[in-house]
Amino acid sequence: MPILDRPVIVLCALLYLAAMVAVGVWAARRTRSARDFFIAGQGIGLLVTGLATMSAAFSGFVFLGGPGLAYRLGVASLFVVLSVSFTSGLLCWTVGKRLRLLAEVREVYTVPDAIAARFRSRWASGLAAGAVLAGTVAYLGAQLQALGIVLQAIFGEALRPGWLPGEWGLPLAMVLGVALVLAYAVAGGMVAGVYTDLFQGLLMAATGVAVFVCAVVAAGGPGRIVSSIAASDQFGARFLDPLGTVPVATAFGFFFVFSVGVLGQPQMLHKFYMLDDPRKLKWMPAVIAVSQSLCVLIWLGVGLAVPALVAQGRLAPLADPDRAAPELLLGFAPEAVAGLAFAGVLAAIMSTADSLVNIASAALVRDLPRAFGRPVENELRWGRWAVAGVAVAAALFAWSYGDLIALLGTFAFGTFAAGLAPALAVGLNWRRVTPGAAVASIATGTGLNLGLELGGRWGWLPEGLLPEGVLASAVALAASFSVLLVWSWLFGSADGDALEEDVAAVMEM
Amino acid sequence: MALLVILELSAGAVLALSGGPEEGMAALGGLPWAAVVQIVGLWLLPLPLVALAYALTFDRSGIRPDDLESLRRRFGSQAGDDRGES
């Protein structure tokens, strides 16, 4: 259906984009220092920090990639996302509290800053910055791919000039997405991100609920959805079985990576520095878990309703599963709900993209130069330039990866997880962890994840290197934890003699 | 500990219930038992348990006001100095 026949959807999208640009310009005037740019001046309350953490974590991955993965894998795909029920508690308990307390005693803006403070090792902080950069390029690539699909769905052929072949529609939309993200993030940095995150988080949660209800109603209710899927040749009863479409190793690999790996996600961890009072962490898990669970409804609702609609013959089978959510919204949702939902999806993508480019620019102009002993003089100015390079690299990477948003997102999530989770979660709680253990763990996790995933995908590794269904990210994460624990046990001292007094005090609390 | 027990029991139940004969497996709204256990045991049940347990134990094992005040008194000025604050 030509999108211009659905003016409310276009209007909602345009209003949302205009509001975001306005906030970016407004925030640019309030961004006066690197501290403002990177951690929003450390003056943000519980609700905004909680929703900012949620909206940084949930993105095009959940809103478009989730339904896409569900269309391909069925109920098994939920292993990726159901752990949101407890991951926020785990995060606050093991890492969030320590990071926020560290910000009381040190000038820490980034995850590599925390690694540097804990281990007093340039190698550890430099490798952490490298892991952050690698994961960010992949994660931002997933956001740009999602943004391209949404912009295509909203504006359709109106985006593509007539002389350009049809297959260039998505790349062109991604280029437009890069421009949007840059306009938004370069200007305002984290101030822009955080001040819009309250609005974006609420919009995302509302979208999750509205689209879930709409999807279930459109497909005839829960009973009909299940019976349609179970009776269809294309999907069948196995689609509804948690282990029906994937090996056990894949299903529980997803669960392991996404439940433990949350401890190494810089786009979430970064937010803990911004909280104005550490005692407000008390209700942080509740805010994050409830808001994330509302967003998960879109994965569940669209992920089951679209296959049901296909099974009922009311929707053509999808050539590209990532278009499940746009197809449902454009074909079956009331225009107002579709408009809200597209704005919500844009909010999910933009808020995460903003956090990611901010983190990547910090890694490039702050963490890596400091690790090499050559700090940059004007981090704010160079940070804005770095954003542009990272966004272009991310778009090119997503284009070359060429798979579902959720699979690209899983790879990115796994890169952060395997590289950073052990050094942070164990390192900030166990004095015996040595700088050498942190370096070995970060190098092992990052190297294994990149090598196994990209080597396997691009044919550089022998076939059958990993048993069928085993996720590269799960192997890398397990190896990273093992290296850290064994190294610390063998070479660490119980009193953690490398610790400085203030860091030791933070770890004792 | 309670969370681990719930997660392990749920994962075990999903393993045990998955892949059986299709007839007689339907539970809630026709969804197989394995899927119901997956959704309830890994998502709906841990959510309030973890959020409430964290909040209710925060004053005891999270960040105590006295400890925070003491940390700020001993080291707080360092962070301010780093940022160029007076």
Q: How many CA within 13 A on the CB side of residue A254?
A: 27
Cβ contact A288:A88 at 8 Å: yes
- Residue A52 near chain B (CB below 8 Å): no
Q: Which residues of B touch A254 (CB under 8 A)?
A: none
Residue A316 backbone zone (phi > 0: left; psi -120 to 50: alpha; other: beta)? beta
pTM: 0.89
Distance from CA of A274 to the nearest CA of B (A): 14
What is the reported pLDDT for A234? 93
Cβ contact A218:A228 at 8 Å: no
Show the CA angle centred on residue A475, arms to residues A473 and A480, nearest 5°: 95
The answer to whether residue A40 sits within a structural domain is no
Per-10-residue mean pLDDT of chain A, 509 residues long, equals 68 78 69 58 77 83 91 96 95 95 91 94 95 94 88 75 68 80 65 68 88 95 94 93 94 96 93 90 95 94 96 95 93 88 81 82 88 81 81 89 88 96 96 95 97 89 87 97 96 77 93
Cβ contact A239:A69 at 8 Å: no
Q: How many CA within 13 A on the CB side of residue A137?
A: 19
Residue among B38, B59, B79 minimizing CB distance to A106: B79
| CA A161/CA A484 separation, integer angstroms | 53
Where residue A287 sits, what CATH number does that domain have?
Answer: 1.20.1730.10
| CA A157/CA A496 separation, integer angstroms | 61
Distance from CA of A399 to the nearest CA of B (A): 34
Q: Give the best residue of B31, B39, B56, B69 to mutate against chain A (max A CB count within 10 A).
A: B31
Residue among A93, A105, A242 minimizing CB distance to B54: A93
Q: Do B35 and A285 touch (CB under 8 A)?
A: no
What is the reported pLDDT for A376? 81
Cβ contact A339:A113 at 8 Å: no
Which pair of structure tokens corresponds to residue A149? 């699909």
**Total number of domains constituting chain A:** 1
The answer to whether residue A66 sits within a structural domain is yes
Q: Which residue in chain A has the smallest CA separation from B84?
A: A107
What is the reported pLDDT for B23? 44
Which pair of structure tokens corresponds to residue A312? 């009922």
For residue A365, what are the CA distances in angstroms to A357, B19, B84?
12, 52, 20
The answer to whether residue A95 sits within a structural domain is yes
In this complex, how many residue pairs, one in chain A and one in chain B, have their CB atoms less than 8 Å apart?
141
What is the reported pLDDT for A162? 67
The answer to whether residue A36 sits within a structural domain is no
Distance from CA of A79 to the nearest CA of B (A): 8
| CA A364/CA A382 separation, integer angstroms | 9
Distance from CA of A151 to the nearest CA of B (A): 32
Distance from CA of B30 to the nearest CA of A (A): 6
The answer to whether residue A41 sits within a structural domain is no
pLDDT under 50: residue ranges of chain B: 23-24, 84-86
Q: Which residue in chain A has the smallest CA separation from B29?
A: A223
Which 3 state secondary structure label does DSSP give A481?
helix
Q: Which residue in chain B has the smallest CA separation from A243?
A: B18
Give A198-211 as a 3 state SS string.
Answer: HHHHHHHHHHHHHH
**CA neighbor of A306 nearest in space, from A417, A171, A212:** A212
- The secondary element (H helix, E strand) that includes residue A386 is helix A379-401
| Matching residue, tokens 């597209």 | A342
Q: Do A509 and B47 touch (CB under 8 A)?
A: no
Range of the domain at A132: 3-28+54-508
Report DSSP letters for A114-131, one per residue.
HHHHHH--HHHHHHHHHH
